[in-house]
Structure 1
């Protein structure tokens, strides 16, 4: 089986990506999930994991995907780099390009910088999360999980509950799900809504959100309590957490999802994290084959 077709050497986000391109990535991930652990598909390719924002789980998932494809992997941490001494993100990336990398997986806090880098660098770039913008590989592994469970995505109803305003996961899922023909609704406290997204998905009540085929909870940044966005973790759970009582009101066939890491007992009750209808750890399992498909995609364009 050949490499999946591509239209760009980068994967910066899912906004604007068409249904067929997304389906190609999901199909290729299914191929890689069936294969033995190690391939030589990308032998001789060098990939740098450049994390200007910490995320051990995402970096390990990308590193595992790259090594399973046979690529040579360089891991970069901003906490140990010249960025701490004043070097710009652009200069750091130009340095890595100069020493011969073929692709870079980038995670960074500022929004808009990634697109700017893509216009200036010749290496392939993969977005591992940028600001409040997108986290495309998280959404792709979510889509993969949904399709594997339900057979297809078109026609599914998906409720995304939590801090929509600051969530790149919510945005990437919105663009990917709507491209695949799903119906998306958001549920959030007033302080965590994103009015600019209302044109694409309505904000509904918690009771309405529970009637979806997929109930996706978002991680709550508990430090936002200090900024007045939530009164307390206990209050958030009472108003917007997926409690055992609320889960009992979900449709019998519905599943629970969460991008992780989970604040147990805040956005979701501890007993639900690994219950029969939860796909949280299944999502994590799907991260490696999805990222294999994505890394292969950008390096074979």
Structure 2
């Protein structure tokens, strides 16, 4: 199996067939993480550079674990420890890394489109680990896997995404992936945190929390990305929690077997009540576990032994 592409820069333009290939491959690789010795020689001799310009816990650690479980050699860099602090451009930094013959670069950057720019200048494979408020394809894929494992399918599901849609790269990748796979997506949040003409993304906009969760199969909560806010877009976190946070009372309107997801980090008591985050509906830790499998699948499909 392989993907019809050299890079994974976003889910826009990725076909349902390709998404299914990634999810099926991830399913087959999940059992490696349950072995006493969690390692296979699939990517032995391959070199992967993790280049993170923004802070990350789950994504960075997940990619590093994924690479090591496939026996790849890994190098981790951050903006603060690279020559970018000395004035070197992003492209020059990448070209210097390329001179050391990596097979793949996993990149997170605060500027939208940075991985796409890199892909135009260097020939090795690139995975976008989140670029600004644009996309986060591996998170979108792991969310799709988590939903498919919980519900047995993706087509025909009602999925609600609630919170800071404007600044969420996860929301964009989720919306694109869910639409591609046949789910119906509803979004809800403060009007100041919804993109202009958000309906053009192929979603329905709810007018209240109750409407947003009505008959939902899946609810994906998002945190307020205060590090990206340049203006005051809502009065306070306390008021946000009251109007846009998910509590037990809201779940009565959803499907009886509704599941709750969150890309993390969770701000308890703001977007999610603790009893919801820790309740039987929560798949938050399942998302983390599935993230390793999906990232193993991406590495294998992009630079594995069967790729062109």
Q: Normalization by structure 1: what TM-score?
A: 0.96
Q: Assess if the C-alpha contact under 8 Å between 2:2 and 2:302 holds in 1.
A: no
> Residue 257 of structure 2 aligns with which residue?
253
Mapping for residues 1-301 of structure 1, pairs under 5 Å? 4-35=1-32, 36=35, 37-199=38-200, 200-205=202-207, 206-211=209-214, 212-222=216-226, 227-300=231-304, 301=307
State the distance in 1 between where 2:277 and 2:114 align.
Answer: 35
State the distance in 2 between where 1:51 and 1:168 align.
Answer: 16
State the distance in 2 between where 1:297 and 1:151 align.
Answer: 23
State the distance in 2 between where 1:245 and 1:226 align.
Answer: 33
State the distance in 2 between where 1:133 and 1:58 align.
Answer: 16
State the distance in 1 between where 2:229 and 2:121 align.
Answer: 39
Alignment CA distance shift 1:223-1:41 (3 Å): closer
Count of residue pairs the alignment pairs up: 298
State the distance in 1 between where 2:236 and 2:229 align.
Answer: 6
RMSD between aligned residues: 1.3
Unaligned runs of 5+ in 2: none
Unaligned runs of 5+ in 1: none
Alignment CA distance shift 1:53-1:249 (3 Å): same
SS of 2:220's equivalent?
strand
State the distance in 1 between where 2:287 and 2:160 align.
Answer: 17
User: 1:297 Cα deviation (Å)?
Assistant: 1.4
Q: Assess if the C-alpha contact under 8 Å between 1:224 and 1:230 holds in 2.
A: no
SS of 1:119's equivalent?
helix
Q: Assess if the C-alpha contact under 8 Å between 2:46 and 2:103 holds in 1.
A: yes
Q: Assess if the C-alpha contact under 8 Å between 1:225 and 1:231 holds in 2.
A: no
